[in-house]
Homo-oligomer: A and B are copies of this chain.
């Protein structure tokens, strides 16, 4: 499994991904699932991937035209004029890769090579944008009604995102929120694992404002993980107490 979240804020975009891949619980590895390209001052584009690793690596390689000699490569991510076209091109490649691998009349097991992608970025002259790209190659865009996308193991970490998100929150608060969401997911699903990759893209910055790998020894992540249990327990005890005698029974 995987867990990746991309979030739109008034101030820009914040993205976090885990790095665990597994083929059975007895075969786990660390692979980067966040990929970023930028033309400083003009554009920054970041992708996060979930699903079959061979599929997602093939999509990234094709985006960078790694089948060609380095001198002949044209990275379309660096050249396409709009984020919409970047999403369309990425979706097309994703669909092609899945189709090629799957094109066996179902013998290999339908759905085994599937993948999803979160695409975020900004190109000069346009707004920061966030897309979710489906295995079929089509995609949706985030809005302030649905200001974040999750892929992979989305459920454990969702309640806190729903309740903690504010479009005008600071980048620091957004990172904290993502860490809590990832911590809940890591605690519940062994197929999501540290280290985490973090990317903060400031509106009109056209570059990474803040980019880090969060290792298992990270003191801030560990402080969040430790204190969140305590904070949740306090929150729980601050709620009104249940009584076996309900108001309608005592009147």
Asked if A159 contacts B179 (CB within 8 A), the reply is no
Given A162-B187, A243-B172, A234 and B235 contact (CB-CB distance below 8 Å): yes
Complex Cα gap A102–B244 (Å): 43
Inter-chain contact A231/B242, CB cutoff 8 Å:
no
A58 contacts chain B at the CB level, 8 A cutoff? no
> Do the beta carbons of A236 and B155 come within 8 Å of each other?
no
| Docked complex: A197-246 residues within 8 A CB-CB of B | 200, 209-210, 212, 219-220, 223-224, 227-229, 231-236, 238-244, 246
Query: Could you tell me how many residues of chain A have their Cβ less than 8 Å away from some Cβ of chain B?
Result: 45
A226 → B minimal CB distance (Å): 10
Q: Contact check: which of B160, B187, B209, B239 meets A176 at CB < 8 Å?
A: B239
**Chain B's nearest CB lies how many Å from the CB of A126?**
25
Measured between alpha carbons, how far is A59 from B242 in the docked complex, in Å? 33
Most chain B beta-carbon neighbours within 10 Å: one of A155, A220, A244, A247:
A155
- Does A53 make an interface contact (CB < 8 A)? no
Complex: how many Å from CA A149 to CA B50? 29
Q: Which residues of B contact A239 (CB under 8 A)?
A: 176, 180, 223-224, 227-228, 231
Most buried by B among A175, A210, A223, A235: A235
A188 CB-CB contact with B under 8 Å: yes
Query: Are A188 and B241 neighbours in the complex by a CB distance under 8 Å?
Result: no
Taking a contact as CB atoms under 8 Å apart, the answer to whether B159 and A244 are in contact is: no
A-B contact pairs, 5 of them (CB 8 A): A155-B188, A173-B241, A175-B242, A200-B244, A220-B242
